[in-house]
Chain A
Amino acid sequence: MHALFVDDETEFLELMQKRLARRGMDVAVAPNGQTALDMLDATLREGGEPFQIVVMDVRMPGMDGLETLRRMKEKMPKLPVILLTGHACMDVAVQGLDLGAYDYMLKPVAISELLVKMEEAVRATA
């Protein structure tokens, strides 16, 4: 599975990249929303391997997760996006789901649980 993780916590990104690579996943990372959008654009423009799923934080400096999600869905409506955040807030969760997020998950999350959800999201939107 080719996944893109978007989070401003670089330690978290590095950890995820390592742990998911051990489980056979190809994970790219972006430290903010704009970089993530640029990376998606690049795959569309240059025909690289498309991302099958995005896992993204909500609270990020600059463009927040919800705005990034909105723009992602404009470009690629079928791309499954999971919001993964340390911020448990019902309003934000509903806004994110309303914008088309597949699910809203909370940190800390067990890697196995996250994997199951990612696989489910990819299957459900395939």
Chain B
Amino acid sequence: MTEVITVDARGLSCPQPAMMTRQALQKLGKGTVEVLVDSPTAKENVTRLAKNAGWTVTVEDSPDGSARIVLRK
């Protein structure tokens, strides 16, 4: 069982969601990180950060504009 960290970045504006995700990725090293965001900018920045750090990214969009981003390594 790998550890899962959830980062709730809803309601926060850039660059905070990316920074919180970056800290979680560095802390975990590998495993699964779930990031909750509610802005297009946060979604793109978290995706960009994670891909560039070698994590696989799965985005689940919600109709209300928020998204659950699952990062795995």
A binds B: no
B residues within 8 Å of A by Cβ?
none
A residues within 8 Å of B by Cβ?
none
